């Protein structure tokens, strides 16, 4: 049904195509030449099988060139390219087979070198099939794309892992890998092959992760537990000498000049440097508690950490790690208060190195301070270290730290030209804490300094009373130092106490000059001393006489003053003269009082002895008598009877062999501790509570709290009151119903 | 009707201002309270009614053992004048007390040291002790309750009347 027009059109097209292929040559010679050129070209391009066919003879490049020219003129190049790619597709099974062979070999040996060979082999294939570069850019890129697409499609899923192993093998060895000494230097030529095959581009993130892992492994290996030297510089040096050359292969292959390479490495280099900092920072963060324990030996580790933290924002992690470690390792009942304080002081010093503005410290210290506030002996520990109670040798206070007055939180001085805003992660209740000395920080755990001064007095009283040689220089020095810290006024009482001690000696000298006496009392001003343990012991016999005659002499010397004895404190040097021997010893007064009673008669029951002295509990009486039994002066008989041994008994007849105790057993605590004072206060408050509940019926806790303002010196908060009332309820003193407390009627 | 909360704070400050200029009185009352709390006199006690006002106290008196009032507890109100202790405090029984020298309905007390014999050396504690002993030893010469004075010499009848008038103290908040 073709019309003439259509036919004419077809004829014209045919003629046109023929002319193009024949290139206007006579007859069909053009066509023949084309056909030959096609054959030559496709023969040249044909992807050969490397495994079987030996490499062909050198192709005749000029003939090929002509053939391609012919094809190009006939605009047949796209056709030949297509046919070439089609041939390639047909031959691809060869590559697939080889890839599979190598991969299964790798599966068996896990040797990255196998993969290295695979890569090289693939490059061989690539080169063998590579069309001549003269054919122009289009063919080349089409070929490369097609080849790579195919290779990637046949690589099995296990290839990335294998590839990673290969990349890793090209890195400089870590110390821990050194057992495999046989290794030849890593085959860096594979990088060229990677580039050719496009593997670098395809597995870029994988290569980076290899490097990250390498850095991590190295940092962990080199730096773990080594806090005494600075690591960061060493790490960066290692990076420059070992990793950067490797990076040149992977990231700067195309570089022609060192400058160009440097430029290409800049971005990736800073990423890796960041990674070093981050790894080191993570490591040090996880070790921070022990680093602090090691301070000041770990100073360099802390400096590293500070530098890392400036690059890496890991401050929050550091805070939470340290808080967790503190909670787990420090703030539990098993830890000694002194240790907690020591560690707290170290934390203060360490975190000040890491973060001078103190935000980290503020965040970390808060739980420690709260915990310490709950410990009953915190103040005592702090005070003990204040006065250099050198029991353990090391004091919390740095000897070199200048003594300065306690600092109080001050209002910020905005006129200060060096003023800096609060750090960005400071919490709302953060107080700029100017680098203050450690003692100020410790004292500020508590809201009031009075507690410290009170505890200080108790401690001072104990130490003064325990001093026997009359040398108070150390205490005087301590007080002078403390005056600087706490201020003159707070320590006035301590001054009086010290003066009492020196005055006592002067008075004693005077009294002795008037009338010699064997007793040398310490005369203290009651109002200025913490309450001393009271007693109503009456000293018997000659002890009593000595006291009285001394008191008489004292009254003539100081007519307006009266001595009130605390006979149970002090020591007595006593010679007990018996028929056959003299026992000479130094004992507490109670012991002396007991042996004095044996002057009256030889056999006493313990009840009679206690009744005679008055105000002695049986436990301390037993202890005192035990001293004499141990010394072989008394003998314990049945029913707590004691007999004086005028003549020494043979050791065996006693039945028990005592290891003689030290003559002075531990000194009874002369001074009422702060806790005891508080208990006394609580007794007063209880009277008030009793009074209000008697008269006002039942009251809520709030009412009790407000009513207690009538009690002088009431300073408890409602929680403390609640706990106190609860304790009273357990004792059956009060009952509570619907939050209303009332007295338990008996 | 107002739904506004009671303006207790205003009230507090007003009562506070009346005590102003009476700092020494307040001090005296505080020390008397302390003294009373720390002394352990059995059967007598007193405490300020509220924390805002130190001039009004509530007291409790138990009848002394061995007297007809033994085992009975009475509540009293003590109001201190601003010029205390130069003027005696005003004291009356809150719980009805059947007693020759106590008015049963008003609770007024006839006790010489609370009237003409008052002296500034007396204290809350001495007043309470006097009242406690007054219970057991009434002054029948100047009775407020003549019926009670008349019955005093016949203890069994007296006891019946006494117990009829007696109201045990409840535990509810009295203030």
Backbone dihedral region for residue A24 (phi beyond 0: left; psi -120 to 50: alpha; all else: beta): left
Residue among A697, A709, A742 minimizing CB distance to B51: A709
Model confidence band, residue A177 (pLDDT cutoffs 50, 70, 90): low
Is B110 catalytic? The answer is yes
Residue A104 CA, chain-centre distance (Å), reads: 49
Strand spans (E) along A408-494: none
Residue with tokens 């292929």: A21
| pLDDT at residue A702 in the model | 87
- Within 8 A by CB and 6+ apart from B171, the residues are A697, A698, A742
Tell me which residue range forms the domain holding A551: 531-650+657-671
Residue indicated by tokens 């802390």: A302
Contacts of B36 in chain A (CB under 8 A): 691
Q: Once rounded to an integer, what is the mean pLDDT over residues A66-87?
A: 75
Tell me, yes or no, whether A210 lies in a domain: yes
Q: What pLDDT score does A666 carry?
A: 47
CA–CA distance, B55 with B33 (Å, rounded to integer)? 11
CATH number of the domain where residue A553 is located? 3.30.230.130
Size of chain B, expressed as the number of residues it contains: 175
Structure confidence at residue A26 as a pLDDT band (50, 70, 90): low
When pLDDT is averaged across residues A592-621 and rounded to a whole number, the result is 79
B79 band by pLDDT with thresholds 50, 70 and 90 = very high
pLDDT band at A25 (very low <50, low <70, confident <90, very high): low
Coil, strand or helix at A692: helix
What band does A405 get if pLDDT is binned at 50, 70 and 90? low
Say if residue A128's pLDDT is above 80.
no
How many CA atoms does the CB half-sphere of A174 hold within 13 Å? 15
Tokens of B16: 């506070």
Contact B47 A684 (CB under 8 A): no
Q: To the nearest whole percent, how much of chain A has pLDDT over 70? A: 83
Residue whose C-alpha is closest to residue A363's, from A322, A330, A312: A322
B107 CA: distance to closest CA in chain A (Å): 17
Residues B99-124: what's their mean pLDDT?
86
Q: Which residue has the tokens 């409790």?
A: B60
- Chain B: closest CA distance from residue A746 (Å): 12
pLDDT at A703 over 70: yes
What integer pLDDT is reported at residue A403 of this predicted model?
A: 63
The A residues from 716 to 745 touching B (CB cutoff 8 Å) are 740, 742
Instruction: Quote the percentage of chain A above a pLDDT of 90.
Output: 0
pLDDT given for residue A402 in this prediction: 61
Query: Does residue A155 share a domain with residue A27?
Result: yes
User: What value does the mean pLDDT of chain A take?
Assistant: 78
SS (H, E, C) A566-608: CCCCCCEEEEEECCCCEEEEEECHHHHHHHHHCCCCCEEEHHH
Min Cα separation B3/chain A (Å): 24
Q: Identify how many contiguous H helices and E strands chain A contains and give both numbers.
A: 29, 8
Q: Is the pLDDT of residue A325 over 50?
A: yes
CB contact under 8 A, A697 and B48: no
**Chain B positions with Cβ closer than 8 Å to A:** 30, 33-34, 36-38, 45-51, 54, 57-60, 75, 169-175
pLDDT for position B78:
92
Shared-domain flag, residues A194 and A113: yes
Lowest-confidence range among A34-48, A273-287, A680-694, B141-155? A34-48
Q: Is the pLDDT of residue B175 over 60?
A: no
Spot the catalytic one: B44, B110, B111, B149. Answer: B110
* Gap between the terminal Cα atoms of chain B: 24
pLDDT surpassing 60 at residue A178: no
Mean pLDDT of A69-87: 75
The answer, yes or no, to whether residue B170 has pLDDT greater than 70, is no
| Pair A559, A697 in one domain | no
Mutation pick from A697, A705, A721, A736 vs chain B, by most beta carbons of B within 10 Å, is A697
CB contact under 8 A, A711 and B47: no
- Residue B16 has a pLDDT of 40
Of B33, B34, B175, the CB nearest to A696: B175
Phi, psi of A636, rounded to the nearest 5 degrees: -90, 125
* Residue the block writes with tokens 């020196």: A502
Q: What is the mean pLDDT of residues A44-71?
A: 67
The count of CB pairs under 8 A between chains A and B is 61
Question: What is the tens place of the pLDDT at every residue in A456-512?
Answer: 888 888 888 877 777 788 788 888 878 887 888 878 888 888 888 888 888 888 888
Q: Is A698 on the interface with B (CB under 8 A)?
A: yes
Q: Do B46 and A687 touch (CB under 8 A)?
A: no
Shortest CB distance from A707 goes to which of B51, B59, B169? B51
Q: Give the separation between CA A62 and CA A69, rounded to whole angstroms.
A: 10
pLDDT on residue A44: 72
The answer to whether residues A582 and A540 belong to one domain is yes
Predicted confidence (pLDDT) per residue in A618-629, tens digit: 777 888 888 888
Domain stop point among A642, A671, A700 = A671
Number of domains within chain A: 4
- Kindly state whether residue A120 falls inside one of the protein's structural domains: yes
Residue A54 has pLDDT above 60, yes or no: no
pLDDT of res. A410:
56
Residues of B in contact with A692 (CB under 8 A): 47
Same domain, A692 and A613: no
Cβ contacts of A711 on chain B, cutoff 8 Å: 34, 37
pLDDT band at A431 (very low <50, low <70, confident <90, very high): low
Domain boundaries, given as residue ranges, for chain B: 22-165
Distance CA A70, CA A37 (A): 7
- List, in order, residues 6 or more apart from B26 with CB less than 8 Å away: B19, B54
Confidence of residue A650 (pLDDT cuts 50, 70, 90): low
Q: Which residues of B touch A694 (CB under 8 A)?
A: 45, 47, 60
One domain, residues A120 and A231: no
Return the CATH class of domain B22-165. Answer: alpha beta
Domain identity same for A635 and A691: no
Q: Tens digits of per-residue pLDDT, A211-251?
A: 888 888 888 888 888 888 888 888 888 888 887 777 777 77
Q: Is the pLDDT of residue A604 over 60?
A: yes
Average pLDDT over residues A188-204: 76
The answer to which of A108-122, A549-563, B6-20, B56-70 has the lowest mean pLDDT is: B6-20
């Amino acid at each position: 049904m073709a019309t003439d027009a259509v036919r004419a059109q077809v004829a014209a097209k045919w003629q046109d195509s023929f002319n193009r292929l024949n290139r206007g040559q006579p007859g069909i010679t053009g066509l023949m030449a084309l056909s030959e050129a096609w054959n030559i070209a496709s023969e040249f391009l044909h992807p050969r099988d490397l495994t079987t066919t030996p490499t062909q003879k050198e192709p005749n490049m000029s003939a090929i060139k002509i053939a391609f020219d012919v094809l190009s003129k006939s605009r047949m190049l796209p056709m030949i390219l297509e046919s070439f790619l089609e041939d390639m597709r047909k031959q691809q099974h060869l590559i697939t087979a080889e890839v599979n062979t190598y991969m299964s070999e790798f599966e068996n040996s896990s040797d990255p070198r196998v993969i290295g060979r695979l890569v090289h082999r693939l490059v061989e294939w690539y080169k063998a099939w590579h069309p001549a570069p003269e054919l122009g850019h289009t063919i080349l890129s089409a070929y490369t794309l097609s080849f790579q697409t195919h290779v990637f499609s046949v690589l099995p899923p296990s290839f990335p892992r294998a590839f990673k192993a290969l990349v890793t093998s090209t890195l400089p060895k870590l110390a821990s890998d050194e057992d495999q000494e046989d290794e030849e230097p890593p085959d860096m030529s594979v990088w060229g092959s990677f580039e050719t095959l496009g593997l670098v581009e395809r597995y870029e993130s994988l290569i980076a992760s290899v490097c990250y892992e390498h850095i991590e492994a190295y940092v962990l290996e080199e730096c773990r537990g080594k806090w005494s030297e600075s690591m960061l510089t060493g790490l960066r040096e290692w990076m420059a000498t070992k990793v950067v050359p490797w990076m040149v292969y992977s990231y700067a292959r195309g570089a022609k000049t060192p400058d160009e390479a440097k430029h290409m490495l800049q971005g990736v280099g800073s990423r890796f440097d960041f990674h070093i900092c981050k790894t080191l920072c993570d490591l040090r963060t996880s070790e921070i508690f022990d680093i602090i324990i090691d301070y000041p030996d770990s100073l360099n580790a802390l400096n590293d950490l500070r530098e890392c933290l400036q690059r890496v924002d890991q401050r929050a992690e550091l805070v939470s790690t340290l808080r967790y470690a503190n909670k787990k390792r420090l703030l539990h009942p098993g830890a000694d208060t002194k240790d907690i304080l020591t560690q707290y002081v170290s934390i203060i010093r360490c975190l000040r190195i890491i973060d001078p503005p103190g935000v980290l410290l503020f965040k970390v210290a808060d739980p420690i301070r709260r915990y310490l506030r709950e410990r009953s002996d915190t103040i005592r520990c702090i005070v003990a270290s204040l006065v250099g109670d050198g029991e353990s040798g090391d004091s919390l206070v740095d000897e070199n730290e200048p003594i300065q007055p306690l600092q109080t939180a001050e209002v910020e001085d905005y006129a200060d030209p060096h003023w800096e805003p609060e750090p960005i992660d400071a919490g709302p209740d953060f107080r700029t804490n100017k680098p203050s000395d450690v003692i100020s920080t410790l004292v500020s755990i508590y809201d009031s300094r009075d507690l410290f001064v009170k505890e200080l007095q108790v401690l001072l009283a104990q130490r003064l009373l325990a001093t026997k040689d009359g040398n108070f220089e150390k205490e005087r020095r301590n007080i002078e130092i403390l005056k600087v810290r706490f201020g003159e006024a707070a320590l006035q009482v301590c001054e009086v106490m010290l003066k009492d001690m020196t005055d006592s000696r002067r008075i004693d000298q005077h009294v002795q000059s008037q009338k010699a006496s064997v007793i040398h009392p310490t005369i203290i001003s009651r109002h200025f001393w913490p309450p001393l343990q009271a007693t109503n012991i009456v000293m018997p016999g000659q002890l009593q006489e000595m006291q009285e005659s001394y008191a008489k002499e004292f009254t003539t010397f100081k007519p307006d003053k009266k001595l009130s004895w605390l006979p149970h404190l002090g020591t007595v040097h006593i010679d007990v003269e018996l028929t056959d021997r003299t026992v000479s010893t130094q004992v507490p007064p109670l012991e002396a009082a007991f042996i004095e009673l044996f002057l009256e008669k030889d056999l006493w029951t313990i009840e009679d002895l206690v009744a005679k002295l008055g105000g002695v509990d049986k436990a301390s009486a037993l202890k005192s008598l035990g001293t004499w039994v141990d010394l072989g002066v008394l003998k314990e008989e049945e029913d707590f009877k004691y007999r004086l041994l005028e003549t020494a008994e043979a050791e065996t007849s006693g039945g028990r062999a005592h290891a003689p105790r030290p003559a002075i057993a531990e000194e009874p605590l002369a001074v009422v501790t702060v806790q005891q004072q508080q208990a006394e206060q609580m007794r007063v408050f209880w009277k008030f509570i009793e009074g209000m509940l008697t008269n006002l019926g039942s009251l809520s806790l709030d009412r009790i709290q407000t009513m207690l303002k009538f009690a002088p010196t009431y300073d408890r908060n409602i929680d403390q009151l609640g706990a106190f009332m609860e304790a009273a309820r357990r004792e059956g003193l009060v009952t509570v119903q619907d939050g209303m407390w009332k007295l338990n009627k008996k | 009707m107002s739904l506004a909360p009671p303006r207790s704070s205003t009230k507090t400050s007003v009562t506070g201002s009346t005590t102003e200029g009476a700092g020494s009185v307040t001090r005296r009352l505080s020390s008397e309270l302390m003294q009373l709390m720390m002394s352990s006199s059995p059967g007598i006690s007193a405490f300020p009614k509220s924390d805002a006002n130190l001039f009004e106290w509530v007291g409790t008196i138990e009848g002394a053992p061995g007297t007809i009032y033994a085992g009975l507890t009475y509540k009293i109100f003590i109001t201190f004048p601003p010029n205390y202790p130069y003027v005696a405090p005003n004291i009356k029984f809150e719980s009805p007390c059947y007693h020759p020298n106590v008015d049963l309905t008003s609770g007024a007390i006839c006790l010489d040291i609370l009237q003409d014999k008052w002296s500034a050396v007396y204290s809350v504690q001495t007043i309470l002790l006097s009242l406690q002993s007054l219970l057991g030893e009434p002054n029948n010469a100047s009775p407020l309750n003549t019926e009670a004075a008349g019955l005093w010499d016949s203890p069994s009848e007296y006891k019946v009347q006494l117990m009829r008038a007696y109201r045990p103290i409840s535990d509810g908040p009295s203030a």
